[in-house]
A = this chain, B = another copy of it.
Amino acid sequence: MKIAVDVMGGDFAPLETVLGSIEAVRENSHIEVVLVGDEQQIFDILEANNEANNSRISVHHASQVIGMDEHPGQALRKKKDASVVVATSLVRDKACDAVIAPGSTGAAVAAALFGLGRIKGIDRPVIATPMPTVNGITVMLDSGANSNSKPKHLVQGALMGSEYAKLLLGKDNPTVGLLNIGEEATKGNEVVLATYPILEKMKTINFKGNVEGRDIPKGTVDVVVCDGFVGNVILKFAEGLVTGLTQLIKESIMASGIFAKLGAMLVKPALKHIAKKIDHTENGGAPLLGVNGVFMIAHGSSKAKEIKTAITIAGDLVDRKIIEHIQQTIEIEGALKYEYDE
């Protein structure tokens, strides 16, 4: 299996993206990577790590990069040789089986849509983010691909999120909740009110009704379905809250006496696995579901470990035929025949 990695995207590119790719190859004997980006820079990093002659690592030159602050649509039109575009084209042309795209989410979504197209029956792709919870992982989607979700987008998201959770969490019949402001079916805005009865009728998902904001960290359900605007705000809020709390705790301990500092040292090991649990780099990015190919979006701040995990998960999704599973479910569901807004 070959995975195309856009090694120029993200804050620590290309060094960390190349290092993460090397690690992924070392740990997964069936994975080959194609590193897409500036040939010379990539070779230098491979040389320095004694991997220039690894037959499972190849390099595909791309002369341009799309920056975090560029307008996705405009950048895509101007930069035909951007690394994310070239990496995506390798999957379109069947030269590779999956794409890893760190950096600008907007550019990644646009490149995937233009390069791979949509799965038949899907109107808009969604980003499915694994959220750490008290009970393990909950998949939240959409977390930012589509900020004007209509009922049909939420319905399609529920279907795809459920298939993804089966593979990611290893559950046969993952539970699905609709994010709302109350548990009753009569609560919510126009979009969720119209979505609820459709989800209830679906045959291929295990719909548990509405869930509230607090149910995400509680891990009440395996899949939480929401609009991309809401999902994106929550994701960034969670990041900010964890960072803020950590900062407050550090400041508070530094301002305290020797006993508090000693206490912090003693308690640290016990807290390490929590830090690991809620550390997004442990989860290695989020797949963009609904496009015609395995496409993994990694955080812009990805370091080597996150890239390695993203590659490993992408390999797993290819092995376990996520795209085919989604296609089959759409057929069983006949989801588009439900009467919801167009």
Contact = CB atoms under 8 A, between A and B. Distances in A.
Interface string A203-224: 0000000001111111000000
Contacts of A266: 259-260, 262-264, 266
Contact of A264 (B236, B242, B267): B267
A218 B233 contact: no
Given A230-B229, A233-B230, A273 B244 contact: no
Contacts of A133: 244
A233 B267 contact: no
B229 A217 contact: no
A144 interface: yes
A271 B252 CA distance: 7
Contacts of A235: 213
A219 to B, nearest CB: 8
Nearest to A69: B184
Interface in A216-266: 216-218, 226-230, 232-245, 247-249, 252-253, 255-256, 259-260, 262-266
Given A148-B189, A217-B241, A217-B243, 18 more contacts: A71-B186, A133-B244, A134-B247, A134-B248, A144-B181, A189-B227, A213-B234, A213-B236, A214-B237, A214-B239, A216-B237, A229-B230, A238-B241, A248-B277, A252-B274, A260-B270, A263-B263, A263-B268
16 contacts: A144-B181, A147-B181, A181-B232, A212-B236, A213-B235, A213-B238, A217-B241, A217-B244, A218-B240, A218-B244, A238-B241, A249-B274, A259-B266, A260-B269, A263-B264, A264-B270
Interface of A: 71, 133-134, 144, 147-148, 179, 181, 186-190, 212-218, 226-230, 232-245, 247-249, 252-253, 255-256, 259-260, 262-271, 273-274, 277-278
